[in-house]
Amino acid sequence: MTDRSRVIAVGSVATVSAGTALAGGWASGLVTLLALCGVPLFAVMGGGAALAWVLTGSPLNRLAPKVLDEQFAGSPVLVTIPLFTLLGYVLAESKAPLRIVEASRAIFGWLPGGLALVCLAASAFFTTLTGGSGVTIVAIGGLLYPTLRSQGYDEKFSLGLITTGGSLGLLLPPSLPILVYALVAGLDFEAAFKAGLLPGVFVMAVLGVYAMYVGVRDRVPRDPFVPSKAWAALGVIKWELGIPVVILGGLGTSLTTLDESAALALAYTVAVSLFVHRDLTVKDLPRIVQQALSLAGAVIVILMMANALMNFVIDRQVPAKVLELLVGLGLTQRWQFLVVLNVFLLVVGMVMDGFSALLVAVPLVLPFAARFGLHPFHLAMMFILNLELAFCAPPLGLNLFIASFRFQRPVVSLYRSVLPFVGLITASLVVVMAVPWLSTVLVQPDIDARRAEAKKLGVPPREAWNLECVQEDPLNPHPCSAEEREAFSKPDAGPDDDADDPLLKQMMQ
């Protein structure tokens, strides 16, 4: 870094910290300064929470309750995170990326833009299993970039494709970001997996059509389709294809819980790598375990500190105060909130890694989403798709820096390479935002089943309400529609505190 760059960086940090201090007090400025100086996120969040409680005269034992309650401490996702993370590291260290690329080429290489489609399919499949866009760029992109160039694809297109491909697959099960979101938001993770299928396939289809267009436009030669070779390719990756079968099959048949499915999938992957393909040896495992659990441990600690910080935010009714300010500025319509929300999520996704962005932003946004009556799974898909976009969006997208390091290109030179893909993902995000049906249709049978069960028992369909709209308090859900709010606000149906809330009525219009 040059002297000028250092001066600019220090000046930017000082300016942002000073602005935060003027707006929110010296404590806010101090926490912002520590975060910008690179202090670990868990320390910033935990220290900020402790400082906030002390400055307001509250005992520090107020920090722990939400961290230790059953919804968080008893969640199977806490066990699943390290298991899935280790599974991803084992795959990355093996020769699985090479097998996935070769098999994808045999199956899709005959289509227009076939090799580009191979890159999209292999990247999405690998990211779904690993949860890490950086791993995908290094493992899949490193294999495919020379092949893309040798087959006649333009350098900018090839770099943009690989950089963007690193964030595909986050919406497809069993995506680790969806699991983390479900834990933080208190959603049913199986329903969250279902909700991600259509938006994930839609984004893949949009990028796939563009890849085919480029292949035809540039007259890129295709690989001949050989049925026997394509069939043999499925045999090559049959063991890798078995991983989602183990996970989703166990969940779909209710034979295993989430954490049990993750443990079985990990044992299966390790056994295949050691004894079937023999890509790894037992001596490799301690190193891989250390790397994977370092990341997983950091995520879990950040989760705990994020919950501790949210205790303070909720106790002091910070979301309600901010909401009153926004309404005073004229933000009363749902579409206005959605625009502001997506801009906010894009900025957060560019300045933080994926897990940190989820852990910081989800608890902050949920109270506002509840007031505007958003569907929880519609909100979830917008969150995750914003992450996909932020990872590759200039100027600070994480994938840009990883691709820059991997392919020895200046970060600025990658901006033009990713712009067409960023535009397509942005368009996909607009469609997902404008058409909630894409995110909710596969969850609707679950909602209907809970309604039917509640009707059979003669009780309010509270579980269905939790699936239909974001709740300020999931333990005490309220009706989502005006008709049900009126029906269940009657004395014999139980009180509804929001029934006469004029602000809520205004924003739900």
Contacts for 186 with CB less than 8 Å, ≥ 6 apart? 71, 466, 474
pLDDT band, very low/low/confident/very high, at 359 (cuts 50, 70, 90): confident
Q: Does the pLDDT of residue 347 top 80, yes or no?
A: no
Q: What span, in angstroms and rounded, lies between the C-alpha atoms of 361 and 364?
A: 5
Residues 6+ apart with CB under 8 A from 34: 43, 44, 47
Distance between CA 76 and CA 83 in Å, rounded?
A: 11
CA separation for the pair 280, 283 (Å, rounded):
8
Per-residue tokens: 111: 């289509």
Q: Mean pLDDT, to the nearest integer, of 444-470?
A: 89
Domain ranges of the chain: 95-236+316-442, 444-507
Under the phi-then-psi rule, with left for phi > 0, alpha for psi from -120 to 50, and beta for the rest, what region is 338? alpha
Decide: 168 and 378 in contact? Cβ < 8 Å: no
| pLDDT tens string 189-212 | 889 999 999 999 999 999 999 999
Cβ-based neighbours of 209, under 8 Å, separated by 6 or more: none
Burial grade of 70 (CB within 10 A; 0-12, 13-18, 19 or more): exposed
**Cα–Cα distance measured from residue 206 to residue 124, given in angstroms and rounded to the nearest whole number:** 14
Q: What is the pTM of this model?
A: 0.73
Q: What is the predicted pLDDT for the residue at 428?
A: 94
Q: Is the peptide bond before 395 cis (omega within 30 degrees of 0)?
A: yes
Q: What's the average model confidence in pLDDT over 99-125?
A: 84
Helices (H) and strands (E) in the chain, counts: 28, 0
pLDDT at residue 502 above 80? no
Q: Is the pLDDT of residue 473 over 80?
A: no
- How does pLDDT run across 409-445, given as a tens digit for each residue? 887 888 889 999 999 999 999 999 999 999 999 999 9
Farthest CA pair distance, the chain: 73
pLDDT top residue among 58 and 467: 467
Residues 6+ apart with CB under 8 A from 335: none
Q: What is the mean pLDDT of residues 452-473?
A: 87
The span from the CA of 419 to the CA of 395, in Å, is: 11
CA distance 155 to 145: 9
Cα–Cα distance for residue pair 501/509, rounded to 1 Å = 13
Of 245-259, 270-284, 362-376, which has the strongest mean pLDDT?
270-284
Confidence band for 64, pLDDT divided at 50, 70 and 90: low
CA distance 107 to 99: 12
The distance from CA 423 to its chain's CA centroid, rounded to whole angstroms, is 19
Q: Percent of the chain beyond pLDDT 70?
A: 74
Contact yes or no for 460/494 (Cβ under 8 A) = yes
If you ran DSSP here, which 8-state letter would residue 292 be given? H
pLDDT of residue 179: 82
Amino acid letter, 274: L
Q: Please state the φ and ψ torsions of residue 498, each to the nearest 5 degrees.
A: -90, -5
Instruction: Decide if 365 contacts 403 (C-beta within 8 A).
Output: no
d(CA 78, CA 71): 11
pLDDT band per the 50, 70, 90 thresholds, residue 130 = low
SS3 of 116-167: HHHHHHHHHHHHHHHCCHHHHHHHHHHHHHHHHHHCCCCHHHHHHHHHHHCC
* pLDDT tens track for 259-287: 888 889 889 999 999 999 899 999 999 99
